């Protein structure tokens, strides 16, 4: 159990994701939960005039999809995107796109946005966290070598802030856990909204 929430605020928690990073963060926080991943097709057609709204919208989609069959449970959905030049970089389709994403981020600052949604008793509480990440200047060889590790294949922007990908980063301004995939402070705040 998490010491910052009452037992009622964390009872019957279901994570609408199979993300190993989100699972690790929740376990590290002491949560007991089930996993029922929302289908990946919910990420299709995620367009919005405000790219920052996309992460929140996708988190709500995932959360409410799983909540349809889990009416008594507290369902948690999350989605992370990377925004640079007002363009959303989601998960790369292949290694060529991963190299393209990393070259675009090299030596620059971008924004990582994670949308979080919690559905419980017919109500969905939502929010989004933003974190600024500045990359080191990378050579094409360094980018190619990182891509071959496979670490960024299933991640927004094609990198992980933990593990080998930590070597890509010069500075993080804001919540580190947001960059990993689940902003802890926002999560706890939303779980208290009952």
The dihedral built from the CA positions of residue 56, 81, 169 and 86, taken in this order, carries a sign that is negative
Catalytic annotation present for 79:
yes
Q: Which residue has the tokens 């159990």?
A: 1
Q: DSSP class of residue 104?
A: H
Do the Cβ atoms of 185 and 111 come closer than 8 Å? no
R_g of the chain, CA atoms, integer Å? 17
Residue 168: CB atoms within 10 A of its CB come to: 23
Question: Following CA atoms 145, 147, 149, 152 in sequence, which dihedral angle do they give, to the nearest 10 degrees?
Answer: 150
Select which of 79, 85, 95, 154 is catalytic.
79
Residue with tokens 């620059």: 108
**Rounded Cα–Cα distance for residues 186 and 128 (Å):** 8
Task: List residues with catalytic annotation.
Answer: 79
């Amino acid at each position: 159990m998490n010491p910052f929430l009452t037992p009622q605020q964390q009872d019957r928690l279901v994570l609408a994701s199979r993300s190993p990073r989100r699972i690790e963060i929740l376990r590290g926080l002491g949560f007991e939960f089930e996993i029922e991943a929302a289908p990946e097709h919910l990420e299709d057609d995620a367009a919005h005039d405000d790219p920052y709204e996309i992460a929140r919208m996708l988190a709500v989609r995932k959360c409410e999809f799983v909540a349809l069959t889990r009416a008594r449970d507290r369902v948690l959905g999350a989605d992370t995107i990377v925004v640079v030049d007002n363009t959303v970089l989601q998960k790369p389709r292949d290694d060529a796109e991963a190299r393209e994403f990393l070259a675009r981020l090299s030596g620059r600052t971008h924004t990582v946005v994670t949308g979080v949604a919690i559905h419980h008793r017919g109500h969905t509480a939502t929010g989004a966290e933003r974190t600024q990440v500045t990359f080191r200047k990378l050579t094409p060889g360094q980018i190619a070598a990182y891509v071959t590790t496979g670490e960024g294949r299933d991640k927004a922007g094609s990198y992980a802030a933990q593990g080998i990908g930590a070597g890509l980063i010069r500075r993080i301004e804001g919540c580190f856990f947001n960059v990993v995939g689940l902003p802890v402070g926002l999560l706890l705040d939303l779980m208290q909204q009952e």
